[in-house]
Structure 1
Amino acid sequence: MSLNLVADVQQMLGFHFMLNALRAGTIVAVVAGAVGYFMVLRRQSFAGHTLATLGFPGAAGAVWLGAGAAIGYFGFCVAGALVIALLPSTSRPGSGLGGYGDESAAVGTVQAFASACGFLFVGLYGGYLSGLNNLLFGTITAVSDSQVLLLLVAGVVCLVVLVALGRPLLFATIDPDVARVHGVPVRAAGVAFLVLLGIATAGASQVTGSLLVFALLVAPAAAATRLTARPAAGAALSIVLALLVTWCGETIAFFSPYPIGFWVTTLAFGVYVVATACRAGLEHRGHHGLPERCRTLPGVAP
């Protein structure tokens, strides 16, 4: 990389594999930013992490069977989402946002089993699995035209369903008991969202790798929730941050010997840290801007 950024970008765009990487990254970032925002709101980050790890055994199993890795990514992630969705709910009324944390042990068990399957499939493959690092940490050179088309179709379907599901899903996320009283199919909405999360995870895994896809799902969304409390603005901001992180990560990865997953994860972490610092600064300034008599009121932190 030189100091002439225009020439560097022109050089990068001269390679077809980089055009595919940017196209795939754009699709993945938009879907991950939108779905990840709801994932953070619903406190299902652990379920998202589990689905991210499912991409590895899925892709490894598909390679072992001689099928395309993309089939394994989508097949295992969607199947895992259905398994998690069908787990018995142990949430209690009034536990807040559906009590999703009560299911963490069962979700963790699914994750452990899936990871074991991944290493089993690698062992059964028998040969030298040259793409193992790519499955785990991602690569910008392995995205083909057919994969871009597959990601585009899956992404459009995912976003269309999310838009249609958005309002009842948000209602079921904020107060599931009241939403149920008003006729919202809370259980069905939760199952549909987990399937969407599985699709988003499978798509992102093909760019960032199975181990690091979670950063693209959670970090931009978590940063957005630090900066705004409005759902529409938060979802839009999450998408923008995911796009910036992905584009910058892919560009840096092109000019460096390190995998794209590392750069996307590092940049996503940096965005979250900056957003958290900005939120803390605004809260500190707002508190110190209060009149002295207001600082002693109940609910105002000292």
Structure 2
Amino acid sequence: MSADPLWSWNLVGDVRQMWSYPFMVNAFRAGAIVAVVSAAVGWFVVLRRQTFAAHTVSAVAFPGAAGAVLLGVGAVSGYFTLCVTAALVIAALRGTGDREESALTGTVQAFLLACGYLFTALYKGLLEGPQTILFGTFLGITTTQVTVLLGVGIAVLAVLALIGRPLLFASVDPRVAAARGVPVRALSVVFLVLLGAATAEASQITGTLLVFALMVIPAATAQTLTARPAASLLLAVALALAATWAGLIAAYCSPYPLGFFVTSFAFTGYVLALGVRVLRTAVPGRPVGEVAS
């Protein structure tokens, strides 16, 4: 936006003025959807130690969006197509060995990033597009886009709720889960597809480079503060919502990218959580640990 809209002592009036703009209403709606979905999926990402996979999927969102714009089919289609495809590729590579999997994933990631920059260079009319794709924006979010995000978000959360308990078991102790008949491999594939869809959503708000702001930081913060799965998951969602809405308000009153503010607020929460953890360890009898089943 710009530095023109400033907050006054009349906060109610300021909020009403901000929400008098349809694009800001759509931004808050889209931000809420993306925050909830990203925090829920991200909670399992952190628990399963799959942050590298999340980083890879978020990185390929850039060439996906840039390529879609070049083809004239819209950036949203590119986000979802390449993010989900990347998730399926990662799922296919799992089991080839950690070293080979990491090497192949990193190689493909580097190549696709180079393709993304080529696509932006080929599309001569793309002026501020690269900054928007990389760092996110709240300008121009339409009602149709919010509807698409809501539909995808409901589908992701529904599947995640359906597989939540066995996925938690498989995430905490995959060998025992497999021994008890839990389809660990199938759950991993389904979860990676959910990760791809959630990353495509989050990329439209935070930008492809800052997806971790919503996908990882709130979940890591919540798991730092509590070892109870249900409480930790709810806390992650609350933190993601707070960071997103605070970021939208800050971006509305300044000329700087939305992704910067969302990331900054989320990171501040994580630093504070680490401080709380340090204080707890200094007090005897206060349990601090990782999320337990």
TM-score, shorter chain, exceeding 0.5: yes
Paired AA for residue 131 in structure 2: N
The answer to whether the aligner puts 1:118 opposite 2:124 as a matched pair is no
- The superposition leaves residues 65-98 of structure 1 with CA deviations (integer Å, 9 ceiling, x where unpaired) of 001110000001000000011004146xxxxxxx
- Separation of aligned partners in 2, 1:213 and 1:71: 17
SS of aligned partner of 2:223: helix
Give the ranges of 4+ consecutive aligned residues of structure 1 lying more than 6 Å apart after TM superposition. none
Deviation at 1:101, TM superposition (A): 8.2
Greater mean alpha carbon deviation, residues 105-114 or residues 178-187: 105-114
The answer to whether the aligner puts 1:243 opposite 2:228 as a matched pair is no
The answer to whether the aligner puts 1:75 opposite 2:70 as a matched pair is no
- The superposition leaves residues 26-65 of structure 1 with CA deviations (integer Å, 9 ceiling, x where unpaired) of 0000000100000000000111111111111111000000
1:224 to 203, 216, 222: 222
**Bigger Cα Rg:** 1
Residue 159 of structure 1 corresponds to which residue in structure 2?
A: 157
Residues 206, 213 of structure 2: 8 Å contact kept? no
Residue 285 of structure 1 corresponds to which residue in structure 2?
A: 283
1:1-302 pair list within 5 angstroms = 1-90=7-96, 103-286=101-284
Deviation at 1:234, TM superposition (A): 1.0
Question: Structure 2 unaligned runs (5+)?
Answer: 1-6, 288-293
- The superposition leaves residues 239-275 of structure 1 with CA deviations (integer Å, 9 ceiling, x where unpaired) of 0100000010001100111010000000010011011
- Separation of aligned partners in 2, 1:125 and 1:28: 28
- Separation of aligned partners in 2, 1:128 and 1:238: 36
- Separation of aligned partners in 1, 2:90 and 2:32: 28
Paired AA for residue 212 in structure 1: L
Deviation at 1:122, TM superposition (A): 1.2
- The superposition leaves residues 218-238 of structure 1 with CA deviations (integer Å, 9 ceiling, x where unpaired) of 000000000111111111110
- Separation of aligned partners in 1, 2:122 and 2:24: 33
RMSD: 1.7
TM-score by length of 1: 0.89
Question: Structure 1 unaligned runs (5+)?
Answer: 92-99, 290-302
Q: Percent identity?
A: 57
